[in-house]
Amino acid sequence: MNTATLTLGLGIGWRPHIALAIDRMSDLGFVEITAENFDAPARLPRHLHVLRSRGLAVVPHGISLSLGGAERVDPARVRHLAELARELGSPLVSEHIAFVRAVGHEAGHLLPIPRTHGSLHVLVDNIRAAQDLLPVPLALENISALFDWPERDFDEADFLAAVVDRTGVGLLLDVANVYANHRNLGTDPATFIDRIPLERIAYVHMGGGFENDADGVYHDTHAHDVPAGALDLLQTLAARAPLPGVMLERDDNFPDERHLNAEMDRIRAALSRARNRNAHRETHA
Amino acid sequence: MPDDGDDDDDRHTLADRQRQLLESLTTDQPAPPEFDPRRIELARRSLLAKRARGVAKAWPSVAADLAGRFDELVERYARSHELPQARTGDDDGLRFARWLCREGLLSDDGRIQLLVRRAARGWPLRMTRLPGSHRLAIALRLPARGIRWFSIRFG
């Protein structure tokens, strides 16, 4: 996917609980919807059509394709994403590099896949099958995980680069997931950012989480504020590459409007710091 | 290109490993060979907590009714009931409530909620015993009037 012409701007995950607060945000460029939450593309909430009429893009985001699963992709699930994209005039749709079911059993969560040559074969084949049914480009997201597979031919950055190279998908880079994997699996975020194809980033997710002292694990809940460490990473990333879109993900424990706007402000501030740093560098070059 | 194309062997290998992993994450099976068992246990607890949140969100009053036993009972239920294909908290919550009812763990209030939910789909007439108050509750789904329920004394 050609991300050079993509301009989404600042965005947020659209959820019914915060629909009114989103309606009142004045500088949004896009919203993302969870595709599985909308059974009938012809009967979408009025809010989404109003946002569309204001010029915002709406990006359908899937969570059930299981592109990294051993099973072949279910065409009906892809067609649902395609129908939403057509109905909403979406510039792209997105999904995950993950699996969510095996032999018909549901995990109820996005699970990591082994980063092996064999797994890459299957993933690439599944992505191509999905792309054949989609009317718009596809971007894929890196997930957070609490464990790693023992078999490994690639590190995460090289695996993402290989997927992008072989399929032409864009990257939906979840910076909070990079932060979570740093905290939980020891992934080095600087090396990760150095090695992924930054020019293929379609947009960025920023979600919240919390550090659980009881188990010593960072939990990527999307029900808490974005951690400062993830905002620092966003700043680093934004200083390195143009980001067509950046959005907040809040899925639960919804705050009041003032707090939600403050979370958006923290993202704006990180992007602004990156711009200022770059401008300062250019001035003194 | 060594990494291009599809290969049935790759799918079979991946299917075996993913099945093993999912079994250990959703049941009491040990971690598959070479996985870090502590990490798999963390992920198992995390999946269970997510499932419990989905059930509690769909059925807040049933969760409140069980008070301190909710987590323990969701875990017992989840061990013997895999996640429904629809993967919504609402479907999972409905099955959880029915399981509680069969196990005799659902209060009369919870039984009435379950009755009303059941009457909303399928058969328009449903009934359930309310052992706490020795009554029989009956729910009806009426065209254009929604669900109505009443109870009568028995025994």
Q: Three-state secondary structure along chain B?
A: CCCCCCCHHHHHHHHHHHHHHHHHHHCCCCCCCCCCHHHHHHHHHHHHHHHHHHHHHHCHHHHHHHHHHHHHHHHHHHHHCCCCCCCCHHHHHHHHHHHHHHCCCCCHHHHHHHHHHHHCCCCCEEEEEECCCCEEEEEEEECCCEEEEEEEECC
| B14, B40, B83: residue with CB nearest A70 | B14
Q: What's the whole-number mean pLDDT along residues A151-180?
A: 97
| A106, A119, A215: residue with CB nearest B85 | A106
Q: What's the whole-number mean pLDDT along residues A251-273?
A: 96
Q: What's the whole-number mean pLDDT along residues A34-60?
A: 94
Closest CA relative to residue B149, chosen from B137, B133, B132: B137
Find residue A31's DSSP bridge partners: A12, A58
Report chain A's mean pLDDT, rounded to a whole number: 95
**Lowest-pLDDT range of A113-117, A166-170, A212-216:** A212-216
Q: B14, A252: Cβ pair inside 8 Å?
A: no
pLDDT of res. A213: 87
Partners of B83 on chain A (C-beta within 8 Å) are 105-108
Residues of B engaging A, defined by a Cβ cutoff of 8 Å: 1-7, 9-15, 17-19, 21-23, 25-26, 33-36, 39-40, 42-43, 45-47, 50-51, 53-54, 82-85, 87
Partners of A101 on chain B (C-beta within 8 Å) are 22
Question: Could you say which DSSP state residue A132 is in?
Answer: H
Q: B3, A107: Cβ pair inside 8 Å?
A: no
The fraction of chain B above a pLDDT of 70, given in percent, is 93
Better-predicted residue by pLDDT, B99 or A285: B99
A265 CB-contact burial (10 Å; exposed 0-12 / middle 13-18 / buried 19+): exposed
Q: Which residue has the tokens 């419990």?
A: B52
| B102 Cα to chain A: minimum distance (Å) | 24
Q: Is the pLDDT of residue B113 over 80?
A: yes
Q: What are phi and psi of A23, to 5 degrees?
A: -55, -35
Q: B4, A166: Cβ pair inside 8 Å?
A: yes
Q: Is the pLDDT of residue A69 over 70?
A: yes
| B3, B36, B46: residue with CB nearest A117 | B3
Determine the longest span between alpha carbons in chain A, in angstroms: 59
**Lowest-pLDDT range of A6-10, A256-260, A266-270, B1-5:** B1-5
pLDDT of res. A192: 96
| B82 Cα to chain A: minimum distance (Å) | 7
pLDDT band at A272 (very low <50, low <70, confident <90, very high): very high
Question: Could you say which DSSP state residue A152 is in?
Answer: B
Q: B15, A108: Cβ pair inside 8 Å?
A: no
pLDDT of res. A237: 97
Write down the ipTM of this complex: 0.92
CA dist A69 → A93, A118, B115, B124 (Å): 19, 12, 38, 40
Closest CA relative to residue A153, chosen from A96, A211, A113, A101: A113
Residue A132, C-beta contacts closer than 8 angstroms, at least 6 positions apart: none
Nearest chain B alpha carbon to A114: B14
pLDDT of res. B67: 77
Q: A147, B18: Cβ pair inside 8 Å?
A: no
Closest CA relative to residue A27, chosen from A63, A53, A54: A54
pLDDT band at B1 (very low <50, low <70, confident <90, very high): very low
**Lowest-pLDDT range of A281-285, B96-100, B131-135:** A281-285
Q: Is the pLDDT of residue A54 over 50?
A: yes
Q: Is the pLDDT of residue B3 over 50?
A: no
Report chain B's mean pLDDT, rounded to a whole number: 87
Q: What's this model's pTM, rounded to 2 decimal places? A: 0.90
DSSP state letters, A209-262: -EEETTTTEEE--SSSPPPHHHHHHHHHHHHHS--SEEEEE--SSPPPHHHHHH
* Digit-coded pLDDT (tens) for A213-223: 888 899 999 99
Q: What's the whole-number mean pLDDT along residues A43-54?
A: 95
Q: B3, A121: Cβ pair inside 8 Å?
A: yes
* Digit-coded pLDDT (tens) for A120-138: 999 999 999 999 999 999 9
Q: Is the pLDDT of residue B155 over 70?
A: no
Find residue B104's DSSP bridge partners: none
| A148 Cα to chain B: minimum distance (Å) | 8
* Digit-coded pLDDT (tens) for A230-248: 999 999 999 999 999 999 9
The rounded distance, in Å, linking the Cα atoms of A11 and A28 is 6
